[in-house]
Amino acid sequence: MIAALAGGVGGARLCAGLAAVLAPHELTVAVNTGDDFEHLGLSISPDLDSVMYTLAGRHDTARGWGLAGESWRCMEALKALSGDDWFRLGDQDLATHLHRTQRLREGRRLSEVTRELCQALGVRHTVLPMTNGLLRTRILSDAGELAFQDYFVRHRCEPRFLGTRFEGEAHPTVELLAALGSPSTQAIVICPSNPFLSIHPLLALPGTRQALASRGAVAIAVSPVVGGAAVKGPLAKMMRELGLPVSPVEIARLYQGLIDGLVIDVADAAQAPAIEALGIAVSVQHTLMGDLPRQQALAEGALGFARGLRRRDQ
Amino acid sequence: MIAALAGGVGGARLCAGLAAVLAPHELTVAVNTGDDFEHLGLSISPDLDSVMYTLAGRHDTARGWGLAGESWRCMEALKALSGDDWFRLGDQDLATHLHRTQRLREGRRLSEVTRELCQALGVRHTVLPMTNGLLRTRILSDAGELAFQDYFVRHRCEPRFLGTRFEGEAHPTVELLAALGSPSTQAIVICPSNPFLSIHPLLALPGTRQALASRGAVAIAVSPVVGGAAVKGPLAKMMRELGLPVSPVEIARLYQGLIDGLVIDVADAAQAPAIEALGIAVSVQHTLMGDLPRQQALAEGALGFARGLRRRDQ
């Protein structure tokens, strides 16, 4: 069994690759819900949706989020009524939020609702929210403390990033702790998601960091930094604002103690010794995943790397 | 000033005619909210929307409800996710419900939200909910007591109608009582809406029936029954199930003590004496209102009739 920890687009892409090479019972994806928020009375889980839509093959590859072939008639009408269109919701995507919101109001857990949605979308691998509770990522910035989506969407990540604060009392889902701790888990894969925004919230859940640090399984990460830039999103900007070099060495430092190995891109091969000096093994691969064959190739490469590390441990 | 009491489609059509011949400050429409309900977590006000959309010239004339040029992508996606599509919500229409729901959650009154929606839709005449509270129309039927939309939409009015029960503690909006009681109100017009489903809920609000009975202004109704049938909806079926003849005489009886005059269709001219015998004046007109010119003609005819009654009183 493979346990993947994922956030948004990059995470979703690697998960699609993993799902292409693993049977449904062999893959559990635990997804960040620190970005979740209530908007227009709807319970929105952006990262869960990115992972679900991508695993279902229904995601929009050009836009990078939401459903393919989406339309925006409700949003246009809403803009005409209220001007409130800063967070764009497609007509088809709205159905996911309406259904999720209704089921949560009926008292269902987010993990149950996610299972239902996956079933309806034809996703057969296990997709889990990191928690059924509320843990909200707050952004500390030079514009003050901002709710995640205020920073990310409304302000387009423009304020200077100073750090995060995680608000709320939440516990990891039992399925997440089981996936991290189970003897049948062969490897834990931290996907190439933004460490600050997608992985740290997950690690902020009580017991998760400890479970990862004391794991029996090998753990690897795939670097979201390639050639001095982030593949997608504000990660490089955030690292610069924190005074950190934008390099996979810094990614390795962020995960030090939690991972045995790091997959880096061929563009960063020269960084391997500095990462290995941190006690983290390195695998150099083509990590850009524009299409499913490349997602699958990276998944195979990462799993092969993890298997090799496992053998080395024994 | 003219105060109109309206329910769904028939009411909306006459209101469109009244709006075509009266200046914005001359018309206040009080609308039934007994059909309002929560669905998919949204606060839905079907009759308010029918009136607003019709006054905005945005209604779908063929379908009889909702917006013209509507699309159904969210509904289709929702059906695929959950099968829950018994109450159809168009993509553009959803924006109205999302906005209304959000504003109500923020603590706004339905009358305020309705004013905002009217403004955004370009409706300049006053449209009011009958109440800012909750008064829910429950249908007593041979299938038991049903929530309104369960009877009306889910069961397509198929159960035998035995009566109504109004649930909840609600008071008429101050604007409705003002419109009924104001010395500047020249006439009260009960639109050709279903008396049981659209007008009785309004009259069930404490003080409304008394305000109408003790009014200074003349009050008329337009018969929703034409030629032994209802123009639209289940009214004729309901009257038959109650053992009532489907005739404007019965409509006159239902409103006896509340109106001075009844507008009936040319097809029912022979019923005039029986209605006049109840102490209710009659005006015979073409009451079918398939398009705006006919809506306007009926509005002019009804207002002329009301003015004549007023002169007769003096």
Q: For residue range A88-120, what is the model confidence (pLDDT) as tens digits?
A: 999 999 999 999 999 999 999 999 999 999 999
Q: Does A86 touch chain B (CB under 8 A)?
A: no
Amino acid occupying residue B164:
T
CB contact under 8 A, B74 and A94: yes
A80 chain-B contacts, CB cut-off 8 A: 95, 120
Amino acid occupying residue B174:
V
CB contact under 8 A, A78 and B71: no
CA distance linking residue B11 with residue A205, whole number of Å: 56
CA distance linking residue B88 with residue B126, whole number of Å: 27
pLDDT greater at residue A290 or residue B242: B242
A94 chain-B contacts, CB cut-off 8 A: 74, 77, 91, 94
Q: Which three-class secondary structure string do you get for chain B?
A: CEEEEECCHHHHHHHHHHHHHCCHHHEEEEECCCCCEEECCEEECHHHHHHHHHHCCCECCCCCCCECCCCCHHHHHHHHHHCCCCCCCCHHHHHHHHHHHHHHHCCCCHHHHHHHHHHHHCCCCEEEECECCCCEEEEEECCEEEEHHHHHHHCCCCCCEEEEEEECCCCECHHHHHHHHCCCCCEEEECCCCHHHHHHHHHHCCCHHHHHHCCCCEEEEECCEECCEECCCCHHHHHHHCCCCCCHHHHHHHCCCCCCEEEEEHHHHHHHHHHHCCCCEEEEECCCCCCHHHHHHHHHHHHHHHHHHHHHHC
A48 chain-B contacts, CB cut-off 8 A: none
CA distance linking residue A308 with residue A302, whole number of Å: 10
pTM: 0.91
CB contact under 8 A, B91 and A102: no
A75 chain-B contacts, CB cut-off 8 A: 95
Give the nearest chain A residue to B70 (CA atoms): A73
Q: Work out the average pLDDT over A38-64.
A: 94
Each residue's pLDDT tens digit, B42-76: 999 999 999 999 999 999 988 888 999 999 999 99
Q: Does A229 touch chain B (CB under 8 A)?
A: no
Give the nearest chain A residue to B98 (CA atoms): A40
What is the pLDDT at residue B311?
Answer: 43
User: Which candidate in A92, A104, A123 is best for mutational testing of the B interface (most B CBs within 10 A)?
Assistant: A92
Q: Does A62 touch chain B (CB under 8 A)?
A: no
Give the nearest chain B residue to A106 (CA atoms): B41
Give the nearest chain B residue to A100 (CA atoms): B40
What is the pLDDT at residue B310?
Answer: 65
Beta-bridge mates of residue B28:
B3, B126
Please determine, for residue A133, whether its predicted confidence score (pLDDT) is greater than 70. yes
Which 119-138 residues of chain B touch chain A by CB within 8 A?
Answer: 120-121
Which token pair is B139?
A: 């249908």
Burial of A122 (0-12, 13-18, 19+ CB in 10 A): exposed
Mean pLDDT across chain A: 95
Collapsing DSSP to helix, strand or coil, A248 comes out as helix
Say if CB A257 and CB A213 are below 8 A apart.
Answer: yes
ipTM, interface predicted TM-score of the complex? 0.90
Which token pair is B260?
A: 């001075």
Please determine, for residue A8, whether its predicted confidence score (pLDDT) is greater than 90. no
Please determine, for residue A313, whether its predicted confidence score (pLDDT) is greater than 60. no
Q: Does A99 touch chain B (CB under 8 A)?
A: yes
Stretch (H or E) spanning A311: helix A292-313
CB contact under 8 A, B95 and A105: no
Cα radius of gyration rounded to whole Å, chain A: 19
DSSP state letters, A135-152:
-EEEEEETTEEEEHHIII
Stretch (H or E) spanning A12: helix A9-21
> Any residues with CB less than 8 A from the CB of A189 and at least 6 apart, and which?
A2, A3, A4, A5, A14, A18, A219, A220, A221, A222, A302, A303, A306
Nearest Cα residue to A81 out of A40, A41, A133: A40
The end-to-end CA distance of chain B, in Å, is 18
CB contact under 8 A, A92 and B84: no
Please determine, for residue B312, whether its predicted confidence score (pLDDT) is greater than 80. no
Q: ∠ CA B49-B53-B58 to the nearest 5 degrees?
A: 150
Each residue's pLDDT tens digit, B224-251: 999 999 888 899 999 999 999 999 999 9
